Amino acid sequence: MDEVTSGFRGDVGIVPRQFLRQFVDQMDLVDEHENYVPMTEYGFQPSESTPEEQLALSGMGAMVVDDDDAPVASEDT
């Protein structure tokens, strides 16, 4: 249980509920309004992508990169 709440510094009261409420509200807005982009609404500027994120964005998200940098097929479990 400590690992689950560590991001909230052990406080599992109001903070997680507020986060989840805002998250669900954003998902509803995305679903209801075709042109709504939450990243623009919140002024979010992403930092440089990690290699794993770049791989996922390239459409090869189902592939895993091995130590020798050759992609190998992965299996969903």
In a domain, 21, yes or no: yes
- 26 within a domain of the structure (yes/no): yes
Residue from 48, 64, 67, 47 nearest 56 by CA: 64
Within-domain flag for 72: no
Asked, for residue 30, whether it belongs to a domain, the answer is: yes
Whether residue 55 is contained in a domain is answered as yes
**Could you tell me the residue range of the domain that residue 39 belongs to?**
2-66
Higher pLDDT, 72 or 52: 52
**Structural domain contains residue 76:** no
Higher pLDDT, 40 or 1: 40
Dist CA 77 CA 67 (whole Å): 21
pLDDT in tens, 12-68: 666 678 888 989 999 999 999 999 988 888 777 778 888 888 888 787 665 555 566
Full-model pTM: 0.43
Q: Tokens in use for 9?
A: 């510094």
Number of domains composing the chain: 1
> pLDDT at position 28, please?
95
Dihedrals φ, ψ of 74, to 5°? -115, 165
Within a domain: 73: no
The kind and range of the H/E element at 41 are: helix 38-41
Residue 53: both structure tokens together: 């994120």
Whether residue 47 lies inside any domain: the answer is yes
- pLDDT at 47 (0 to 100): 80
